[in-house]
């Protein structure tokens, strides 16, 4: 099978949430000696981006979105050992992601985390209600490139600012990009915090991270 044909089929399998088919095609790509990086980007990646768009458009819902992410990750796990032989630099980056202390709204953050790992990032999801200090400490520990902080409440958003402040205090600000998420977050708030960006949806979050 050609790369192009397999990409189209595996992408469709992801959109159809057909795990069996997606894994079968991933194995096929390996045995046929296809360009696996191309399969990740234009097959699996294209599929999961479409799933993300369908979620944004209200065509599919949370269970389908999570399932799509899970299938993508399972396929990636098959491909990854073979990818490493060809490319040591496949991992696009390491991200620490958390919902800030005092805020238990974890759905948006979990979705963004799933989409980012589905897109080839090494995501460390610390969960919800996480103190700013802990987020920074974890980011240092796992050598993260990006820190993602989510807050749904205007009352807990100040914690997002605290993350940036702690980084500045410890002279670590230049080592990490800090991105913010959550319904009340705006460009103005990002500027006020001195953060590096924000996104309105999980799809935009992936685009944002790629740009950074």
Partner 1 sequence: MLFKEWLKDEKKKILFDGGMGSEIIKRGIKPGKLPDLLNIEEPQVIRSIHQAYYEAGSDMVQTNTFGSSYLNLKNHKLEERLVEINQKALEIINKICPKNHLIVGDIGPSGVFKPPVGKATTDMWQSSFKKQVEVLNSGVHLWHIETVSDIEEMRAAIRAIKEVSSKPIISSMTYKKTKRGFFTIMGDSLEKCVEIQINEGADVIGSNCTLGSNEMVDLMKEFNNVTDRPISIKPNAGKPRLEESKTVYDQSVQEFAQDIVKIINLGAKIVGGCCGTTPQTIQEIKKEMNL
- Environment class of 114 (CB within 10 Å of its CB; exposed 0-12, middle 13-18, buried 19+): buried
Q: Tell whether residue 175 is a contact of partner 1 (CB under 8 A).
A: no
Q: Tell whether residue 192 is a contact of partner 1 (CB under 8 A).
A: yes
Phi, psi of 69 (to 5 degrees): -65, -40
Find the part of the chain contacting partner 1 (CB under 8 A) among 26-34, 61-69, 90-98, 137-145.
Answer: 61-69
Residue (60 or 209) nearer to partner 1, CB: 60
- CB of 132 vs partner 1, minimal distance in Å: 11
Q: Which of residues 156, 177, 178, 198 is near partner 1 by CB under 8 A?
A: 156
Find the part of the chain contacting partner 1 (CB under 8 A) among 4-12, 166-174, 181-189, 194-202.
Answer: 181-189
The contact set with partner 1 (CB under 8 A) reads 57-64, 66-67, 70, 101-102, 104, 107, 110, 129, 153-158, 161, 183-184, 186, 188-189, 192
């Amino acid at each position: 099978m050609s790369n192009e044909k397999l990409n189209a089929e595996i992408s469709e399998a992801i959109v159809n949430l057909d795990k069996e088919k997606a894994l079968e095609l991933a194995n096929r790509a390996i045995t046929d000696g296809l360009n696996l990086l191309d399969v990740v980007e234009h097959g699996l990646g294209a599929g999961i981006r479409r799933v993300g768009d369908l979620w944004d458009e209200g065509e599919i819902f949370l269970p389908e979105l999570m399932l799509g992410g899970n299938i993508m990750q399972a396929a990636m796990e098959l491909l990854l050992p073979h990818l490493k032989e060809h490319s040591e630099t496949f991992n696009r980056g390491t991200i620490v992601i958390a919902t800030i202390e005092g805020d238990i709204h974890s759905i948006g953050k979990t979705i963004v985390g799933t989409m980012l790992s589905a897109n080839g990032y090494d995501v460390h999801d610390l969960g919800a209600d996480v103190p700013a200090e802990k987020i920074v400490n974890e980011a240092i520990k796992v050598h993260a490139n990006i820190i993602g902080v989510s807050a749904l409440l205007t009352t807990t958003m100040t914690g997002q600012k605290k993350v940036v402040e702690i980084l500045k205090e410890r002279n670590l600000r230049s080592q990490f990009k800090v991105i913010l998420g959550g319904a009340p977050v705006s460009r103005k708030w990002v500027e006020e915090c001195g953060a590096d960006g924000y996104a309105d949806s999980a799809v935009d979050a992936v685009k944002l991270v790629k740009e950074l």
